[in-house]
């Protein structure tokens, strides 16, 4: 589930409880942080769908990057680069071990 889907589901839950969805209410209920412009943008285009209230709390696969114009670009970049950082760390460790064996 994208952050946009989660925001919509939370807005529907709030509306189903008789309250008006607000940026502050939605921000406190999100499972992962989202920037205010994203929340505002989704909330502006939101229309109440009473049945859409399920929030899938599964964490996204770090090797999968989805591009959505409303996603926070820094989060997309961080998610995409994390496997590369891990691989570089492993390669550096291997180089150190091999270097010690040669000396």
Looking at residue 86, its pLDDT comes to 87
Which residue numbers in the chain have pLDDT < 50?
62-63
Instruction: Report yes or no on whether pTM surpasses 0.75.
Output: no
Nearest to 32 by CA among 11, 53, 9, 7: 7
Looking at residue 58, its pLDDT comes to 52
Q: Where are the domains of the chain?
A: 1-57, 60-103
Looking at residue 24, its pLDDT comes to 92
Q: What is the pLDDT of residues 57-73, one digit of tens each?
A: 555 554 455 555 555 67
Looking at residue 48, its pLDDT comes to 78
CA angle 18, 43, 7 (to 5 degrees): 80
- Helix axes of 3-16 and 36-45: crossing angle, nearest 10 degrees: 60
């Amino acid at each position: 589930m994208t952050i946009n889907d989660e925001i919509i589901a939370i807005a529907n839950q709030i509306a189903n409880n008789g309250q008006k969805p607000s940026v502050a209410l939605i921000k406190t209920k999100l499972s992962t942080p989202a920037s205010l412009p994203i929340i505002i943008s989704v909330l502006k285009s939101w229309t109440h769908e009473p049945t859409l209230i399920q929030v899938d709390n599964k964490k996204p696969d770090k090797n999968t990057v989805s591009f959505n114009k409303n996603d926070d670009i820094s989060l997309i970049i961080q998610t995409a680069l994390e496997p590369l950082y891990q691989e570089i760390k492993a390669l550096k460790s291997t180089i150190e071990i091999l270097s010690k064996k040669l000396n």
